Amino acid sequence: MRSEQEMMSLVLGMAENDERVRAVTLEGSRTNPNVPKDLFRDYDISFHVKDMQSYIDQPDWVDAFGERIIMQMPEAMAMFPPELGNRFSYLMLFKDGNRIDMTLIPLEEKDDYVKEDKLMQVLLDKDGLFPDVPPSTDIDYWVKRPSAAFFADCCNEFWWVATYVAKGLWRKEMLYAQDHLNNLMRPMLVKMLEWQAGIRTNFSLSVGKNGKFLDRYIPEESWQKLILTYPAGTYKSVWTALFQMVELFRETAQDVASELDFLYPLEEEQSVTAYLERVRGLDPEAKSM
């Protein structure tokens, strides 16, 4: 695998020798001092360019970065609508294991760009486009203290969607039940755990993308219970995961409510839990639990 120094020299060498590139910036985990260093960290690079269409018209310009395993150009894909507006990106995984996520940004968007993310470093600036960029910080990603309304909505969504999971399990609709459990209920549980982590750290840190650092900041018992909420492909295991999730959400939400002086919806929780128990009792595959 090419070293960080080799990769940076390659990127900056290309930029310095191409008069269309006026600045190079770095974003993401490599700018964040709170993220552990490992060999899977991407190089999130932006080239701030003029005549951007000339790059798009000749996509093989990225071959200079090395031999690839695979590349994706999201803004050129038909299945997924583009999200970057006038920008264009190349996501490249190389045969040596390095990855570059390269974004081309038109020069006229420099003022908007600099306001978007505080996790940013200027690597090259030929024209003084970014004169006063402050030190990189992940403050924008810190867990934010919820309002009472946000807390109430999180609880309501969790308990409401739980009924869909039970219905799907009784109907033997595995994909339906798993989808509601993992894609709708789980985000509410993780959000509640993030708030608990925020309380324990005075809302002064990030738990990472997808909550990947949660285990550092929540009680060990909660972490172990969270792991048990991931089911296997049987109806019995999904029923078990559902009730594990219910228990963990209840405990965490009551703790958050107590710490932030919020009203916990006890009646809603009890009514829904009784409903889940009733539906589970109608499912022969769940009776052996």
User: What pLDDT is attached to residue 91?
Assistant: 96
Q: Which residues on neighbouring strands pair with residue 231, listed in sequence order?
A: none
On whether both 61 and 170 belong to a single domain, the answer is no
- How many domains does the chain divide into? 2
Q: Are the CB atoms for 263 and 270 separated by under 8 Å?
A: no
Asked whether 133 and 242 are in contact (CB, 8 A), the reply is no
pTM: 0.86
In the chain, the DSSP E strands lie at: 21-27, 43-49, 68-72, 88-94, 99-106, 120-125
100 DSSP β-pair partners? 43, 92
145-159 per-position pLDDT tens digit: 999 999 999 999 999
pLDDT value of residue 287: 61
For the CA atoms of the chain, what is the radius of gyration?
Answer: 24
The answer to whether residues 102 and 83 belong to one domain is yes
Q: What is the CATH number of the domain that holds 41?
A: 3.30.460.10
Please tell me the predicted confidence (pLDDT) of residue 247: 97
pLDDT higher than 70, residue 99: yes
Tokens 């420099």 correspond to 110
- Give CA–CA dist 145/202, Å, rounded: 9
Residue 285 has pLDDT above 80, yes or no: no
- Which residues is 102 bridged to in the sheet? 45, 90
User: Of the candidates 121, 140, 159, which is a domain's last residue?
Assistant: 140
What's the gap between Cα 281 and its chain centre?
A: 37
The boundaries of the domain holding residue 206 are 142-286
* Exposed/middle/buried for residue 184 (C-beta within 10 Å: 0-12, 13-18, 19+): middle
pLDDT for 215 equals 92
Return left, alpha or beta for 274; rule: phi > 0 is left, psi -120 to 50 is alpha, else beta: alpha
Tell me: do 30 and 136 sit in the same domain. Answer: yes
Residues 149 and 280 in one domain: yes
Q: How confident is the model at residue 288 (pLDDT cuts 50, 70, 90)?
A: low
